[in-house]
Amino acid sequence: MDKVKFPTTPLGRLKLFFTFFDSRWEDLTKENWLKTTYQDLSAGLIVALTAIPMAMGFAMANGMRPEHGIIAGALACVVGRTFGGSKYQVYGPTAAFIIYFVMKYE
């Protein structure tokens, strides 16, 4: 099996970002496209329902307005998607930031 080479330069990663059909579609076939699409949309909705309030909470905990958290979470996803390493990687606000807030307010 041939190993797919991914670009390592920022320009190459940006070009890959704007390429619509790439290795992200490897698990989508004619037989399972409906099920896979449903599962992906369901997973995206669940992640959005947890990530948006978390981003808003992180912003408010730092003294900013909630919409700043939403924008920062969206930008983190765009930057992570462009320069990240895997389609299975998660970007945006995570519970790992809680340690920062505990240390900040002690």
Calpha distance 51→2 (Å, rounded): 36
Look at residue 81 in the predicted model and tell me its pLDDT.
Answer: 72
Look at residue 68 in the predicted model and tell me its pLDDT.
Answer: 93
Is the confidence at residue 44, as pLDDT, over 70?
Answer: yes
Closest CA to 92 of 67, 66, 63, 71: 71
Of 46 and 106, the structure prediction assigns the larger pLDDT to 46
> Residue 51 is inside which H or E element, if any?
helix 33-61
Calpha distance 20→81 (Å, rounded): 13
Is the confidence at residue 36, as pLDDT, over 80?
Answer: yes
The answer to whether 39 and 28 are in contact (CB under 8 A) is: no
Look at residue 4 in the predicted model and tell me its pLDDT.
Answer: 62
* Model confidence pLDDT, tens digit, residues 46-100: 888 888 898 898 889 888 999 998 998 888 888 877 776 666 777 766 666 666 6
Is the confidence at residue 7, as pLDDT, over 80?
Answer: no
Calpha distance 44→51 (Å, rounded): 10
Other Cβ atoms closer than 10 A to 69:
23
Confidence label for 106 from pLDDT (cuts 50, 70 and 90)? low
Q: CA geometry: angle at 58 spanning 55 and 70, to 5°? A: 30
